[in-house]
Chain A
Amino acid sequence: MLRIQNLSKTYPSGTQALKNVSFDVKDGEFMVVIGLSGSGKSTLLRCINRLIEPTEGKIFWDDLDITAAPPADLRRIRRKIGMVFQQFNLVKRSTVLTNVLSGRLGYVNPWTSLLGIWSQEDRQHAIQALERVGIADKAGSRADALSGGQQQRVGIARALMQDPKLILADEPVASLDPVLSHSILQYLEQLNKEGITVICSLHFLDLVHRYATRVVALKDGVKVFEGAAREIDRAKFKEIYGEEAQEVRAASL
């Protein structure tokens, strides 16, 4: 179980991106974070694996205090947390296989990895991960030769290489069209069913309804809602997204 307690983040610029946010994520949940642009979703997800250092508050993973972990422990925690990004964040000039293999960096001998040497086992593992997302034939291509949907699948394969217990997905489908969005989220759903906890930020409410087991909503860094997706009625919606907002459906785009 992941327990987020009174989490706050103030950037050096003075922006308060998170204000005293607390919630729990139980193992096996598909937790979706929603909120307007700038509400603090990315900041929240990056605080969990400390790509961003929280200013205040604590994050416990089972009994482990992530926020207090020294660097070596933090790297050991991170390798169990896969991450998927809106912009895919692949190394564009490297091959798909190298991108996927890099998911293993937290496990392998650091020195051999610096020489670019990978064990046969890791390579097979990588090919299997690519097979799972249906693009094993692209292993030798340069990452930037792939379409957006394919690149995001490489991103998922990279996360899979970490043998993760938790996957953080920061708007994984915001750069993709609706059909691709569903195919990517179905991979995450599949992984979730196999026991990996997923925390995912999303924009479109219909996707939230379809995939979320639970929802947390942020507004200006404050948690304004926590509960099941179906509990978000018109009033809640207006509260989260403001009076002007219209519900947009991914499918209608």
Chain B
Amino acid sequence: MPNETVNSRPVVRSGIASALLPGLGQILLGERYRGAGILLGFLLILATTLWYGKPVWYVSPLLIWLWNVWDAVSLAGGRKRSILLPLFFGLAAAYGIGWQVVEIDFSKADMDRAMAILRPMVRPDFVQTRREVNQMWVPVQVPCSSEPPAARREDAGRIATVIPDCGGVGETLIVTVSGMWPNAGMNIFWQNPIGNPLMLGEGEITMLTLTSDENGSITTTIRVPTTALVAAPDPTLPQFHRIYFEQYRPTGGYELSFIGSEVLKGALATIAMALLATGLAMVFAVPLSFLAARNLMSGNPLTYAVYVVVRTLLNILRSIESLIIAIVFVVIVGLGPFAGMLALALHSVAALGKLYSEVIEGIDPGPIEAIRATGANWLQVVRYAVIPQIIPPFTAFTIYRWDINVRSATVIGLVGGGGIGFLLIELIRVNNMRGVSAVFIAIAVIVIALDYISAKLRERLV
């Protein structure tokens, strides 16, 4: 093998070259891309580990450097080494550093908190058993005036009285109600003059719930809530508060709960928001797409300039996430579905404009030529050769966009863009996990249903 002795000099030379500058030896041996790749990879990993600053990871660029010398030497002998090894070194460092940068820490997870959130979610607040309500109230003066009127009220055979007729904050009152449903649970709560309910149970944070006797009567003592006068403009001025008595009983069947109806409204608002945004976007995207179609616009320098400008604008607009546009619009037009709709529409103009223009660029010139040959005028050519070619794909893309917009609309709601997303963030804020769970289910149903419908519709168009 005389070749090996002859080649021993390049072996040494490329080895040294690569030791000085990773990849240099490979480049000298004619493997330009390999050498450049090695150099770039090495520098990348070196920079990353230096930036992170934990010496353990310096081992990665070191190993890559060693491999690179070995590879240069082998290459001079005519053998390429697999790049899997340095790739592995690099990835190991990248993942290790990434793991620490992201601050992954499973010990932070709190199972109790998780359960407190998840347990109510098992029972989404969407429907409730249908029930009727039996409500009664009696006025009480707080604080006492010199001559308080009797704290007694009669209504449809029900009588409620309070003794004494008035009281100050924290004082005890004896409350009696009769003529209610017998042997049934009853909620008793306070309502201040501006209509806010205050709890009367333990620590004033729970509902006072009692059971009526066989005559439908209850007598109990309560304390005037400590917060009864918090909202009063002048705490010394006597005002009428109310004590409410409420009984519920099922009447069979189910009905939409309050949250449930809010979820439905939100879902409809979201779908409508997406629909309106898509429609509005279509109106602007159709003419723009013609200006952004290369085959129509490359005829002369002026139209080509228009093409370049429109294309660039659409590309820039498309690259801005609709969520960010929404934040801007929330500032401009205020919270609500209108801001969300405008944001979606703006983003969709760009997205649809591009898709439409690609449809136009892809139309078959054959039919256009054929219709022109029949003696048709320009409008007839458009109507018979262009429109049939673009309508189905335009429609398909529009439906697809609507589908995407419904999804985006839920997210945009989170930043104040209205609809079901806004409801979701409100429910999370008040910690109503049953409501949150209902919203999740509604979003899932909408997305899956629309996905299916849009796929079916588009199938029929191609």
Q: Assess whether B377 is interfacial by the CB under 8 Å rule.
A: yes
- With contacts A105-B375, A158-B374 taken as known, whether A93 is within 8 angstroms of B366 at the C-beta atoms is no
Report which residue of B372, B373, B376, B392 has the largest number of chain A beta carbons within 10 angstroms of its beta carbon.
Answer: B373
- A71-95 CB contact bits vs B (8 Å, 1 = yes)? 0000111111111010111111110
Q: Assess whether A106 is interfacial by the CB under 8 Å rule.
A: yes
CB closest chain-B residue, reference A46: B369
Question: Are B373 and A105 in touch, CB under 8 angstroms?
Answer: no
Q: Specify which chain B residues have a CB less than 8 angstroms from the CB of A67 in the assembled complex.
A: none
CB distance from A115 to the nearest CB of B (A): 9
Question: Are A75 and B377 in touch, CB under 8 angstroms?
Answer: yes
Q: Assess whether B169 is interfacial by the CB under 8 Å rule.
A: no
Instruction: Give complex CA distance A122, B181 in Å.
Output: 81
- With contacts A78-B374, A78-B375, A158-B374 taken as known, whether A89 is within 8 angstroms of B380 at the C-beta atoms is no
Question: Are B373 and A91 in touch, CB under 8 angstroms?
Answer: no
- With contacts A85-B366, A110-B377 taken as known, whether A93 is within 8 angstroms of B372 at the C-beta atoms is no
Contact-residue bracket for chain A: 35 or more
- With contacts A76-B375, A114-B383 taken as known, whether A94 is within 8 angstroms of B388 at the C-beta atoms is yes
Partner of A79, one of B367, B375, B389: B375
Question: Are A87 and B366 in touch, CB under 8 angstroms?
Answer: yes
Report which residue of B366, B370, B389 has the largest number of chain A beta carbons within 10 angstroms of its beta carbon.
Answer: B370
- A141-180 CB contact bits vs B (8 Å, 1 = yes)? 0000000000000010010011000001000000000000
- B200-228 CB contact bits vs A (8 Å, 1 = yes)? 00000000000000000000000000000
CB within 8 Å of B: which of A129-144?
Answer: none
Instruction: Give complex CA distance A75, B369 in Å.
Output: 13
- With contacts A102-B384, A105-B380, A110-B380 taken as known, whether A89 is within 8 angstroms of B375 at the C-beta atoms is no
Instruction: Give complex CA distance A105, B371 in Å.
Output: 8
Q: Specify which chain B residues have a CB less than 8 angstroms from the CB of A78 in the assembled complex.
A: 372-375
Q: Specify which chain B residues have a CB less than 8 angstroms from the CB of A75 in the assembled complex.
A: 375-377
Q: Specify which chain A residues have a CB less than 8 angstroms from the CB of B379 in the assembled complex.
A: 110, 114
CB within 8 Å of A: which of B364-406?
Answer: 364, 366-367, 369-377, 379-380, 383-385, 388-389, 392
Q: Specify which chain B residues have a CB less than 8 angstroms from the CB of A79 in the assembled complex.
A: 374-375
Q: Assess whether A54 is interfacial by the CB under 8 Å rule.
A: no
Question: Are A162 and B375 in touch, CB under 8 angstroms?
Answer: yes
Question: Are B373 and A81 in touch, CB under 8 angstroms?
Answer: yes
Instruction: Give complex CA distance A82, B372 in Å.
Output: 11
Report which residue of A80, A107, A113 has the largest number of chain B beta carbons within 10 angstroms of its beta carbon.
Answer: A113
Q: Assess whether A35 is interfacial by the CB under 8 Å rule.
A: no
Q: Specify which chain B residues have a CB less than 8 angstroms from the CB of A113 in the assembled complex.
A: 380, 383-384
Q: How many of chain B's residues have a CB under 8 angstroms from any CB in A?
A: 20
Instruction: Give complex CA distance A90, B385 in Å.
Output: 9
CB closest chain-A residue, reference B371: A102
Q: Specify which chain A residues have a CB less than 8 angstroms from the CB of B384 in the assembled complex.
A: 91, 94, 98, 102, 105, 113
Q: Specify which chain A residues have a CB less than 8 angstroms from the CB of B392 in the assembled complex.
A: 93
Question: Are B388 and A89 in touch, CB under 8 angstroms?
Answer: no
CB distance from B206 to the nearest CB of A (A): 68
- With contacts A75-B375, A106-B375, A162-B375 taken as known, whether A90 is within 8 angstroms of B380 at the C-beta atoms is no
Q: Specify which chain B residues have a CB less than 8 angstroms from the CB of A161 in the assembled complex.
A: 374
Q: Specify which chain A residues have a CB less than 8 angstroms from the CB of B375 in the assembled complex.
A: 75-80, 105-107, 162
Q: Assess whether A51 is interfacial by the CB under 8 Å rule.
A: yes
Q: Assess whether A40 is interfacial by the CB under 8 Å rule.
A: no
CB distance from B447 to the nearest CB of A (A): 30
Q: Specify which chain B residues have a CB less than 8 angstroms from the CB of A162 in the assembled complex.
A: 374-375
Q: Specify which chain B residues have a CB less than 8 angstroms from the CB of A51 in the assembled complex.
A: 369, 372-373
Question: Are A91 and B389 in touch, CB under 8 angstroms?
Answer: yes
CB distance from A105 to the nearest CB of B (A): 4
CB closest chain-A residue, reference B367: A91
Instruction: Give complex CA distance A102, B381 in Å.
Output: 10
CB distance from A239 to the nearest CB of B (A): 32
Q: Assess whether A221 is interfacial by the CB under 8 Å rule.
A: no
Q: Assess whether A43 is interfacial by the CB under 8 Å rule.
A: no
CB distance from A51 to the nearest CB of B (A): 6
CB distance from B214 to the nearest CB of A (A): 78
Q: Specify which chain A residues have a CB less than 8 angstroms from the CB of B389 in the assembled complex.
A: 91-93
Question: Are A103 and B366 in touch, CB under 8 angstroms?
Answer: no
- A29-52 CB contact bits vs B (8 Å, 1 = yes)? 000000000000000001001010
Instruction: Give complex CA distance A88, B385 in Å.
Output: 13
Q: Specify which chain A residues have a CB less than 8 angstroms from the CB of B370 in the assembled complex.
A: 83, 85, 89-90, 155, 158
Q: Specify which chain A residues have a CB less than 8 angstroms from the CB of B377 in the assembled complex.
A: 75, 110
Q: Specify which chain B residues have a CB less than 8 angstroms from the CB of A104 in the assembled complex.
A: 374
CB distance from B328 to the nearest CB of A (A): 40
Q: Specify which chain A residues have a CB less than 8 angstroms from the CB of B383 in the assembled complex.
A: 113-114, 116
- With contacts A102-B384, A113-B380, A114-B379 taken as known, whether A92 is within 8 angstroms of B364 at the C-beta atoms is yes
Q: Specify which chain B residues have a CB less than 8 angstroms from the CB of A116 in the assembled complex.
A: 383
Q: Specify which chain A residues have a CB less than 8 angstroms from the CB of B364 in the assembled complex.
A: 89, 92
- With contacts A89-B366, A113-B383 taken as known, whether A106 is within 8 angstroms of B374 at the C-beta atoms is yes
Report which residue of A81, A102, A107 has the largest number of chain B beta carbons within 10 angstroms of its beta carbon.
Answer: A102
CB distance from B264 to the nearest CB of A (A): 39
Report which residue of B366, B369, B375 has the largest number of chain A beta carbons within 10 angstroms of its beta carbon.
Answer: B375
Question: With contacts A51-B369, A102-B384 known, what are 16 further pairs, Cβ within 8 A?
Answer: A49-B373, A51-B372, A51-B373, A75-B377, A78-B372, A82-B373, A91-B385, A93-B388, A98-B384, A105-B375, A105-B376, A105-B380, A107-B375, A110-B380, A158-B370, A168-B373
A-B contact pairs, 20 of them (CB 8 A): A51-B373, A76-B375, A79-B374, A82-B373, A83-B370, A85-B369, A91-B367, A91-B384, A93-B392, A94-B384, A98-B384, A102-B376, A102-B384, A105-B371, A105-B376, A105-B384, A106-B374, A110-B377, A114-B383, A116-B383
The 10 closest A-B pairs by CB, nearest first: A106-B375, A79-B375, A89-B366, A89-B370, A105-B376, A78-B375, A83-B373, A75-B375, A91-B367, A102-B384
- Chain A residues close to B by CB (< 8 Å): 46, 49, 51, 75-83, 85, 87-94, 98, 102-107, 110, 113-114, 116, 155, 158, 161-162, 168
